[in-house]
Amino acid sequence: MDSNSWIEYKIQVRERIKVFALNILELSSSLPTSERARILNRQITRSGTSTYSNYRAALRARSKAEFFAKLSVTVEEADETEMWLDLIIDSKISVSELAIQLHAESVEIIKILATMRKRLK
């Protein structure tokens, strides 16, 4: 992949993660207000939006090493988001189509980010 293609790819991934974060916020507003749901809601909102903010920070890295480090944090946040979605679905707090779609998308985002990180080694 040439330099311009790599830049375009990173921008496409950024937009995909942004849509993911917006959908996490949508899911968040639809969750019930029980104590356990509120706890998971806070966690998923933080990690889901943090995935986007950390990826944006990675894109502004000043070196390949800094990009790798920030991308690693992004992978961790995406993985945490997948875990919270898993708990939300398995605990039956929400088994909505949106929750299920977001879980599938979180797995795909983790794969994309992990592959990007692996490519940098």
List the chain pLDDT tens, one digit each, 121 residues.
788 899 999 999 999 999 999 999 999 999 999 999 999 999 999 999 999 999 999 999 999 999 999 999 999 999 999 999 999 999 999 999 999 999 999 999 999 999 999 998 7
pLDDT value of residue 121 = 76
pLDDT value of residue 66 = 96
Tokens of 58: 């990675």
The three state secondary structure string of 5-52 is: HHHHHHHHHHHHHHHHHHHHHHHHHHCCCCHHHHHHHHHHHHHHHHHH
| Cα–Cα separations (whole angstroms), residue 85 to 1, 58, 81, 107 | 33, 24, 6, 10
Note whether 44 and 71 are within 8 A (CB): no
The number of domains in the chain is 1
- pTM for the model stands at 0.94
Residue range(s) defining the domain that contains residue 24: 3-120
CATH of the domain at 97: 1.20.1440.60
pLDDT value of residue 2 = 83
